[in-house]
Structure formats: C-alpha cells, structure tokens
Structure 1
C-alpha cells in the first residue's frame, strides 16, 4: 500500500510538470496576425460595383382601365315582337349584319300599299305630260300631277324606312355579347337587347398629375400591362389628352390605344400604364444596394479609393430594375461598395472581393 501511494504522487507531479511546460511553450509562440493594410489597420471585406452608363427612359406610371374601341347596346327604335335572333352569343359579326329581326308584317303591307300608289301616280303623271304637250291640260294640272307623284315617292320612302327599323343591324365589326331576350318577346322602344364590342383595338384611360402636362403630347409611346397576364407588356400610344384638368385631383385624363388582334385583353380589365416621357441614351447608375440607409433626404454611398472607403453624398434620380440614377456626386468608372458597407465608416480600410454586383 505505501508503494502505491508513492506511485500516485509521482504520476501527479509528472502531470503538473507537463501542463506547466505546455503553458510556457504556448506563451512563447506569437498569435496569428490579422489581415491588415499597408498602414497597419484591419481591413473590412467588401464587394463593389462600377458606376456605369446605361440607356434609361424617363417615364411616368399610372393605373387605368381598358375600354372597347367601339361599344354599343342595341336597342329597338319601335316596339314590336321579336321574330328572329340571327347571331350566336360571344361570336364576331360584320358591319351591316342583321342581328335581331322584329315582326314587320304591318310595315311590309304599308310599303306594298305605298308602292301601288306610286305606280298610279307615275302613270297619271305620264298621261298628264302627254296631254300637256298637246295643250289639252293647263300648266297647273301638270304641276298638280307632278306634286302627287312626289308625295307618292315620299310615302314609299317613309314606308321603307319604317320597315328597315324592324331590323337591328351591327353598326361596326365587333363581338356580340350576351343577349337579354328570346324569340317571341315583346320589346318596347329603347329596351336593351344585346351589346356589341369592337375589341380588335382597345382604349386605355388613365390620369397623370398636372405637373406633367407640359411633357405630354399625342403620339407618345407607352406600355400597358395587366395583372391577368403577368410579365407581358403591350405597346400603345397616346391618342388624346383631355383639355380639362380635374379640379379635385389636379390630374389630367389621357386616352391611349393599343392593338388587340388576338383578343387576349378585354374591356373593363385593370391596366398598369408606363408612359415614356423621354429616352435618355446615357445615364449614370449604381445598384440599389449601394445606397447607405440614412435619415433625411440625402443619399450616401461608399466610394472605394485605393484601399480606403470614402462616404460620399449623392443626388439620385429615377429608380428602375434595381438601378438608381446618379445625378451628382459620382462619375462613371468610380467603384462603390455594394456589400459590407454597414460595417464601414468614412476613411475605413477595405479589401475588395469579387461579388455578384460586379466586383
């Protein structure tokens, strides 16, 4: 037993000596040096992008509504009973096509009667002309016969017009909607029968602030999008500018038109409008992520000069496609920090690494 205690004590002393030696060796070894610049300050790792020039359009955005190029609700001018419906709902029709026919038996009889009276008046006039040429009748008798002929002709024209009013025809090429009546229905004058829409061309109405009025003109190009067709854009152009400015909203109403040959857009749909005010071929831009959040209206970025970051105040313009226009403060070719700027301060040392922003 005494021998075991001596071995335990010796082993403990050896362990203590080993630990003390390891500690002494560790204290002798210098620690690893941090990344430093030539001036000896630790550098912050950042990503950068170059200030570059791109083509950018000066534009205005608005919300609008699509409308038919032409739209009408067919209504009869006279009361009558529907004899025939000559169209299929939701199908295209040509201008002049008969869509609804009312019972016109009375009107046809009136036209036949008027034509018979016209035949008699023409026969009497020819006979009177012959007698007048042989001086058997007076000038007044000839004039009276001619007047009766003109009255007969007018009666035929009137009866024919009344007959034609019993037919409802398409006033333009378009697509008929959903009818509200059936064959045999008795309709009054002015009752709505069916709508007709010309959707080969669509109109889009939207409003812009009155401050843009001096920059608006007929013929300007614009793009129209719809939430129903995400990601698609349709070319359009300004057709008219309302001369009256809305006194409440201080906005001006603008109407544009766009081709819709496939009928993918429909009247009444919500539209997002992008009006191009001016095309600018060279605009200095930086990525949006280069902007440093700061209170107030002033915008800042960090510009890399050598191995240092400079905090620069800039004046910005329009923003589009994750790019920001730079009006003042930077020049093309400058490099700005796009990642890591939250750890920077003015004059801080930086080490640039490649990144998605173009470092």
Structure 2
C-alpha cells in the first residue's frame, strides 16, 4: 500500500512538472500556442490555448529585420599560371683561366687573391733579364743597319756603291727592325695581364715557382652578374621566351627571393630527359652571391583566365566547394571548382563573372534566398568562431 502511494505521488509530481513546463513554453515562446493548436491536441483534451498576438509589421520592415549583415567582395579575373620549378647552378657571367704563354720563373705577383682587377692590369711578372738583353742587342743591330743604309744612300748618288749592295743594306735594316719587334714581343710575354675586368681567384703558383707554357696560374671571374642554367620540360617550349622574369631562391639563403630574366634558350631538346636547357641572368652587383651556388628556379607561365575570389569566400560542404554570390540583394549558392590557390586570391571555375559580389564575412548564417545587407565589419563580429570553423574545413 505504501509503495502504491509513493508511485502515485511521483506520478502527480511528474505531471505537475510537465504542466508547468508546457505553460512556460506556451507563454514565453512565440508561435508555440499556434503550433500546438495546429496539432489538434488542445481540442482533444478540451483545453483552449489562446495564441499570443504579435505586433504586425509592414512587409518591408519584416524583410529588413530578416536581412543578414555580410561583408562583400568583388570578383576579379586572373590567369591560371603554369608553374615550373627546377634546380639550377649559378656561374659567373665571365670566367677566364690565366695561363702563361712561355716558360720562366715567377718574379712577382702584383694582386692578392680576391682583389678586383681591370682588364690589362699586370698580375704576374716573370724573370725577364735574358729578354731585356736580347731587346737591347736587337736595338743596337737596328741602329747599325739604319746607319749603313744612310751611308750607302749617299755613296749611291756618287756611283761608288752598286745597286745590289744598297738593296742588301735595306734588307738588313728591315731584318733588324723585325728582330727588335721579336725581342719586344718576347719581353712582353714575361708579363701576364688580366684578360677581363673581375676579381682574381686563388693562385696556383708562388713567387719563385718555375712554370711552363699553358700552366694555369689563377682564374679571373666577372661576378657582377650570374648565369643560372636549368631545364624545363619540352611541353612548354612554345611558351618560353627570352626576357621572361624568373624567381630565384638561393638554397644556401632560405627565405631570400631574387628576380632574374631568361637570357638564352637552347636550340636542342635533350633526348634522354626530354628537357630543354634555359639560361637565366641575375644581377649581382651587390656581390652577395658566388658562382657555383645552387638556386631553386620558379618560372610562371600565364594561361587560361578564370574568376578570382577572396580565399575567405570559398566554403565547403559534403557536395564540394561553393561561394555565396549576392544577386538582386539575395544570397545565391554557386558551386565552384578550385583551379589554383594564390597568396591573396583563389581562381575558381563556376557560374561567376568578374564584377559580381561574393560574401566573405557572415557566411555562417546564410541560406539560399536570404536577404543580404552589406556592411563594413569593423568590430570583428562577423569574424567569429563559425568562420574559423569554415576555414579549418577548407584546409
């Protein structure tokens, strides 16, 4: 009996709580009474539930109250870029290995390694005593030959010297002149000069060393500009032209990006790799780069044009990517296919035209056909957690 009484008391309490909750729901939730009347439950129970009257609004005021505040952005147009990435080796614009043209002992070295030199500057001097003696002897012989010609020319006038003798004197003078020129040339070979403007590298010799002809002495490099050779696939041969800009990133200097241009295009495709060699030129007047460094080369080739939207405009669902377009003041869901992501825009393929408006803020509350009210979000209210969740889904 006690158990039955306890069960009845619990049932009464439950019904009372349900009644209080229903009264609160009907009283304070707009439209609850109207919905309940449509179900027919009050009529079945014999209860009259009066619907709470709502103040009437004009249709225009109602639409204004239902409009969603959003931030819009204009659709632009962008070209789909074909990016080619390769690794290239840098070398000096010009590099010449200095070699001796004769045999001899190194008498002096005029520039330290790494020093800048100008074309024609003396870099190495060889011992030249024998050549100086030979030049002096040739000059003495030339002076004698000149005197003989002058003396015989005076005698020829008086007829005391035959024409044959006079001709022999002239030939002797000419031969003496050639001997002087040869001696001067031999002496000049004892001095080794810079063939180009640039910087002298590390010497392969020391003062006192005996060198022979064609021994390498050092290398002069003009590194005011670097040449970077890299290869591209044969499919883009028709798109590459001299003068096109390339982005170059030294592998030894992460984060640094430089701009060069294509200076030379090879004429033959490599049969083994099916690639074409390209040469880019990079300004290095700051002298911060060195020949032999490796570079990451990025070549961008413009292609087909597509609508470009702000990355925040792209949303995702189980059906794929889409954007909210603002058309006639209402939200229209436009499916798109992403063709390329850039740092500040996304190229998409879909029913969009350049100049249209798309929603970039406030997308979390949009539904098809919802009225839109454009605003400038300065408080950050439209950049809340829902949009962050959308961004997380995009990544």
Specify the TM-score bucket, using the shorter chain as the normaliser. Answer: 0.7 to 0.9
SS of 1:81's partner is strand
Report the equivalent of 1:65. 89
Say yes or no: does 1:25 pair with 2:20: yes
1:183, distance to aligned residue in structure 2 (A) = 1.2
Residues 192 and 334 of structure 1, relative CA distance in 2, 3 Å threshold: same
Distance 1:273 1:143 in 2: 72
Say yes or no: does 1:236 pair with 2:263: no
> Given the alignment, which residue of 298, 305, 330 partners 2:352?
330
1:21, distance to aligned residue in structure 2 (A) = 4.3
1:112, distance to aligned residue in structure 2 (A) = 1.9
Gaps of 5+ in 1: 1-12, 34-44
Distance 2:151 2:81 in 1: 81
- Pairs aligned (count): 328
Distance 1:253 1:85 in 2: 40
SS of 2:177's partner is helix
Equivalent residues in 2 for 1:156-175, closer than 5 Å: 156-175=180-199
Equivalent residues in 2 for 1:131-280, closer than 5 Å: 131-275=155-299, 277=301
Say yes or no: does 1:354 pair with 2:375: no
Residues 238 and 256 of structure 1 are in contact (CA less than 8 Å); yes or no, is this contact kept in structure 2? Answer: yes
Gaps of 5+ in 2: 1-7, 31-67, 374-380, 391-395
Distance 1:111 1:260 in 2: 45
Q: Deviations over 1:139-178 (max 9, x none)?
A: 4333322222222222222222222222221111111122
Distance 2:341 2:158 in 1: 95
1:247, distance to aligned residue in structure 2 (A) = 1.8
Residues 139 and 92 of structure 1, relative CA distance in 2, 3 Å threshold: same
Say yes or no: does 1:94 pair with 2:118: yes
**Structure with the higher fraction of residues in helix conformation:** 2
> Given the alignment, which residue of 76, 89, 93 partners 1:53?
76
1:22, distance to aligned residue in structure 2 (A) = 4.2
SS of 1:127's partner is helix
Distance 1:294 1:93 in 2: 68
1:253, distance to aligned residue in structure 2 (A) = 1.8
1:18, distance to aligned residue in structure 2 (A) = 6.8
Residues 117 and 152 of structure 1 are in contact (CA less than 8 Å); yes or no, is this contact kept in structure 2? Answer: yes
1:68, distance to aligned residue in structure 2 (A) = 0.8
Report the equivalent of 1:122. 146
Residues 301 and 336 of structure 1 are in contact (CA less than 8 Å); yes or no, is this contact kept in structure 2? Answer: no
Report the equivalent of 1:284. 307
SS of 2:102's partner is coil
- Which stretch shifts more, 238-247 or 320-329? 320-329
- Which stretch shifts more, 22-31 or 254-263? 22-31
Residues 314 and 329 of structure 1 are in contact (CA less than 8 Å); yes or no, is this contact kept in structure 2? Answer: no
1:271, distance to aligned residue in structure 2 (A) = 2.1
Report the equivalent of 1:10. none
Report the equivalent of 2:36. none
Distance 1:119 1:314 in 2: 93
